Protein backbone atom coordinates (compact mmCIF):
# COMPACT_ATOMS: atom_id res chain seq x y z
CA UNK A 1 0.00 0.00 0.00
CA UNK A 2 1.37 3.42 -0.91
CA UNK A 3 2.45 5.64 1.96
CA UNK A 4 0.14 8.49 0.94
CA UNK A 5 -2.91 6.24 1.33
CA UNK A 6 -1.91 5.45 4.93
CA UNK A 7 -1.20 9.03 5.93
CA UNK A 8 -2.96 12.24 5.09
CA UNK A 9 -1.07 15.26 3.80
CA UNK A 10 -0.26 17.99 6.30
CA UNK A 11 -3.07 20.57 5.84
CA UNK A 12 -0.72 23.46 6.63
CA UNK A 13 1.76 22.33 4.00
CA UNK A 14 -1.03 21.90 1.46
CA UNK A 15 -2.12 25.47 2.22
CA UNK A 16 1.44 26.70 1.70
CA UNK A 17 1.62 25.04 -1.71
CA UNK A 18 -1.74 26.51 -2.69
CA UNK A 19 -0.61 29.99 -1.66
CA UNK A 20 2.48 30.00 -3.88
CA UNK A 21 2.49 32.11 -7.05
CA UNK A 22 1.17 30.28 -10.11
CA UNK A 23 4.51 30.56 -11.91
CA UNK A 24 6.21 28.73 -9.05
CA UNK A 25 3.50 26.08 -8.70
CA UNK A 26 3.90 25.25 -12.38
CA UNK A 27 7.59 24.50 -11.80
CA UNK A 28 7.04 22.08 -8.90
CA UNK A 29 6.91 18.41 -9.89
CA UNK A 30 4.44 15.94 -8.46
CA UNK A 31 7.26 14.19 -6.60
CA UNK A 32 8.38 17.48 -5.05
CA UNK A 33 4.84 18.43 -4.04
CA UNK A 34 4.23 15.01 -2.51
CA UNK A 35 7.46 15.18 -0.49
CA UNK A 36 6.46 18.60 0.82
CA UNK A 37 2.84 17.71 1.65
CA UNK A 38 3.73 14.44 3.39
CA UNK A 39 6.60 16.01 5.36
CA UNK A 40 9.28 13.85 3.75
CA UNK A 41 12.87 14.80 3.04
CA UNK A 42 12.70 17.58 0.46
CA UNK A 43 14.59 17.22 -2.80
CA UNK A 44 17.32 19.81 -3.37
CA UNK A 45 15.46 20.92 -6.50
CA UNK A 46 12.42 21.86 -4.41
CA UNK A 47 14.50 23.62 -1.77
CA UNK A 48 16.03 25.74 -4.52
CA UNK A 49 12.60 26.65 -5.90
CA UNK A 50 11.23 27.55 -2.46
CA UNK A 51 14.28 29.34 -1.06
CA UNK A 52 12.66 32.78 -1.35
CA UNK A 53 9.44 31.61 0.33
CA UNK A 54 10.55 29.52 3.31
CA UNK A 55 12.61 30.24 6.39
CA UNK A 56 15.34 27.71 7.12
CA UNK A 57 13.69 27.05 10.49
CA UNK A 58 10.62 25.80 8.58
CA UNK A 59 12.63 23.07 6.94
The predicted structure's pLDDT at residue 55: 76
Per-residue pLDDT tens digits of the chain, which is 59 residues long: 455 457 899 999 999 999 999 999 999 999 999 999 999 999 999 999 999 887 766 65
What gap in Å lies between CA 56 and CA 4, rounded to an integer? 25
What gap in Å lies between CA 39 and CA 25, rounded to an integer? 18
pTM of the predicted model as reported, rounded to 2 decimal places: 0.79
Q: In the chain, what are the helix, strand and coil shares in percent, each to the nearest 5?
A: 60, 0, 40
The predicted structure's pLDDT at residue 54: 77
The predicted structure's pLDDT at residue 59: 58
Amino acid sequence: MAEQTKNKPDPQRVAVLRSLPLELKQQITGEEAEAFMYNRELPESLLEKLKDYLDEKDL
